[in-house]
A and B are shown apart, each in its own frame.
Chain A
């Protein structure tokens, strides 16, 4: 098998990783085991649960359904890119504030799903948000608080993107 290894250059969170992969290696496995970024979780390996959701050129994608070789030349973003030190992304803060996680296993996938969706359109309606969120599975929370957190973060991200004019 090892003779099928090939060198692939991945751009993950603005860092370059040169990895040796077989064509069959999933991007999720390579991100985790070779790049050491274990925040991307593998929950089903058949594209249903969404725990491994990452952003590929800004689009939320199941990393278990992509081969690492396919991701060469694309901008990959994982949950590790969201915060800098203690400075959390609005979605991360909202998830904590609204108790939108329990075991936390599905959380990185939800955060990346929402990051991708809200960066594209922070004006999603409640119904549109629910529609986006129904892409991923959570077994602990019953989604109620994830929806609340997503709403709160969307509102905050919209404020940041286009702050309301101050009254003078």
Chain B
């Protein structure tokens, strides 16, 4: 079933088939809801139906009387459990805004957990949950981050402003040839994996071990956090990751439900199972992205940027979650993308509203930032009548300037762009797409009466967040090879990639390798899978461990074969003399077996631990090119062609990278055209089913042509790897907006995502209105007021 050529000497870099697939295509995956334990109780969460109010009382009597019900809890039952804390950087000013596991005296969004029901059947748990009566004294709602209100006595809904700056921005603005200003908005959308969340906790009383199954993303970090919250020692909690039905940033954060199943398993000494339904997912799992940016650029006559000044408003929703202020930090640190900007100032206003709490979604802060920055570049081009390609070329950081220190921070790390040839990739991308021919073809289509346009975007991604990761590799006496990591798999092909790196470095067949991940009981340390770090960090640690193991193997083989180790090579699991492939060979199994008997612990085999440390992230980069057609009657936008050029430093498995890029594109297109969490003016969520929240289908996704380059390997790891998880989604909103503008011959029309037909219709009407008053139809060159921000479907 696996492809024939899996030669270990060249396995790194080849598009080999995935080790993960066989059980998944047979329906033998083990996702959260596939995990059950005898005697388990099912938990059902009672959620606030009201976006903001004082909790007067919760009446649980009727629910308790329902058949099959064991218990109903409210906040009073878990008074000893603290709010869910920050997983990463603690931000003091955000501490009072953390979410309680169950609402205490106030509810702050529709969907907030206020009580939980435990029953011996999921249908009965749901029946009983409907009988819990929650009495709430409604308060005024705050539904826009444009406004600041009161969070609690003495506390506003703006706990912090993230600021960064360098250079003299005011002087640049004062002396500029032109100042270009924009008011831009990115809608609220999120990861929405196909598998909803799930958590199954079990307490092994005999050994005093609490187990949490259904873990994802960062099992080791969540274990630490749970240990603190439950006041248990680390060694008394273990998290188990099984199959995970997509993560995209939102899954695997520590949520109230994860804590509740653990507490209940300890108290009831019975397994507790919770599986989220889709409506719950859309109102309870992290939202993301919603920001409004007021951005200015000072430019000279040639369109060179002199300064960028951005003030943005981040709609956090009702509470601070595990990520604290990370999205804002990433926006502020990565906003400038691939461009040289002599002076920069950014202020990100962290604001709470009465919506579902927000956090990271694939390419957090960069999808938003790229939309804003690339809209700005298009606006500069339009204002100065310079070609959109030329304006970018004039501002790109040259290859010769690498490494390039930004004087900014992102994720607590100094932004030092490690390597890149941005202009080179732009050339290659335009060549691959056939930019000149595309322009000609689009011209022909327009003459035939179609509304078609081309757009593009450039961006810098980030990957490989440190500081360290460690891996243990063991060759068992029977020849089985096991790589144990604290990494995690969210479906991205982690096992295959790690196996390829191990196979290529050690010299064995990749399909014989078993990669263990997401099991806190197997390894003490783990970084999980987030921030596009798995291939860089865990991959590099795997290489280190495999190198050490290789030395051990060669030591033994050199004795057994009576050959200098320098003359030995390991290929496809066999140690042999380098120039005599037909000479004597030793299988890795024999060596492991010999090592085990010599080491006097017969079953252990030979193993090695390897660590990789890095001081800085690295920075892959890309170009997206879009061709769109607008339906003149419905205002629907159809993407006719799409190109992605992406420099990944070094591709471990190009097939999987292309899969990441196309999948990311589809999500980016969702955010650009279809997906949005809408609320009515009273705070009622309107996007609570897949009929309201529109995920793109096979019908909306065009063929995506991908150019994967390896022109700028990262100097920050031995394989030169950069990550690929977020490059597909990053530039989509920006490229689509640019293409729609082009189709309309009206630069600056698109100021808000997603570009729904209603929003596009309104934008075109407002363009026409401006033109009718005799003004220039390029509204981007002036401040344009609030972009249209629908609060209700009726309003759209």
Contact = CB atoms under 8 A, between A and B. Distances in A.
A141 B246 contact: no
Contacts of B689: 44, 46, 48
A48 B704 CA distance: 25
Interface string B245-261: 11010000000000000
A40 B278 contact: no
Interface of chain A, main secondary structure: loop
B123 A25 contact: yes
Contact of A79 (B27, B195, B655, B695): B27
B15 to A, nearest CB: 8
A107 B194 CA distance: 11
A62 to B, nearest CB: 12
Contact of B491 (A41, A103, A111): A103
B153 interface: no
A76 interface: no
A144 B691 contact: no
A139 interface: yes
A103 B246 contact: yes
Interface in B651-682: 655-656, 658-659, 662-667
A138 interface: yes
Contacts of B600: none
Which of B28, B244, B704: most chain A Cβ within 10 A? Answer: B28
Given A39-B26, A103-B491, A137-B690, A142 B663 contact: yes
A70 interface: no
A156 to B, nearest CB: 15
B244 to A, nearest CB: 6
A88 B1 contact: yes
A157 to B, nearest CB: 16
Interface in A18-72: 22, 24-25, 32-33, 37-46, 48-49, 51
Interface in A133-166: 133-147
Given A45-B277, A103-B194, A142 B704 contact: yes
B565 to A, nearest CB: 39
B442 to A, nearest CB: 23
B663 A141 contact: yes
Nearest to A24: B123
Contacts of B33: 32, 38, 41-42
Contact of B27 (A2, A33, A38, A46): A38
B542 interface: no
A103 B244 contact: yes
Nearest to A79: B27
Contacts of B246: 102-103, 105, 139-140
A144 B662 contact: yes
Interface residues of B, number: 60
A102 B659 contact: yes
B5 to A, nearest CB: 14
B243 interface: yes
Interface string B7-24: 000000000011011101
B248 A139 contact: yes
A137 B20 contact: no
B22 A46 contact: no
Given A24-B123, A104-B491, A105-B246, A39 B28 contact: yes
Contacts of B278: 43-46, 49
Contacts of B194: 41, 43, 49, 51, 103, 105-106, 137-140
A143 B493 contact: no
A107 B21 CA distance: 10
Interface string A117-143: 000000000000011011111111111
A1 B663 contact: no
Given A44-B689, A48-B689, A106-B194, A141 B659 contact: yes
B277 to A, nearest CB: 6
A140 B491 contact: yes
B588 interface: no
Interface of chain B, main secondary structure: loop
A108 B666 CA distance: 20
B539 to A, nearest CB: 18
A105 B123 contact: no
Which of A25, A111, A140: most chain B Cβ within 10 A? Answer: A140
B225 to A, nearest CB: 24
B186 interface: no
A103 B28 contact: no
B195 A41 contact: yes
B488 to A, nearest CB: 12
A75 interface: no
B662 A145 contact: yes
A1 B127 CA distance: 10
A93 B659 CA distance: 17
Contacts of A40: 27
B124 interface: yes
B97 interface: no
A1 B125 CA distance: 12
Interface in B678-705: 689-691, 695, 697-699, 701, 703-704
A41 B728 CA distance: 27
B318 interface: no
Interface string A1-23: 11000000000000000000010
Nearest to A92: B25
Nearest to B704: A144
A167 interface: no
B25 A103 contact: no
Contacts of B1: 86, 88, 93, 96
B490 interface: yes
Contacts of B30: 38
A134 B695 CA distance: 11
Contacts of B667: 139
A108 B18 contact: no
A102 B25 contact: no
Which of B18, B22, B191, B246: most chain A Cβ within 10 A? Answer: B246
B195 A111 contact: no
A99 to B, nearest CB: 5
A134 B30 CA distance: 26
Interface in B583-630: none
A143 B194 CA distance: 14
Contacts of A143: 666, 697-698, 701
A40 B697 CA distance: 20
Given A42-B33, A105-B245, 8 more contacts: A45-B277, A96-B1, A99-B656, A102-B493, A104-B29, A105-B193, A139-B193, A144-B703
17 contacts: A1-B123, A1-B127, A24-B123, A39-B27, A39-B28, A46-B691, A49-B690, A80-B26, A82-B26, A88-B22, A103-B244, A104-B25, A104-B245, A106-B194, A106-B245, A133-B697, A137-B194
Interface of A: 1-2, 22, 24-25, 32-33, 37-46, 48-49, 51, 78-80, 82-83, 86, 88, 92-93, 95-97, 99, 101-108, 111, 130-131, 133-147
Which 7 pairs, one residue from A and one from B, show the smallest C-beta to C-beta distance?
A39-B27, A103-B491, A104-B24, A105-B245, A142-B666, A79-B27, A48-B690
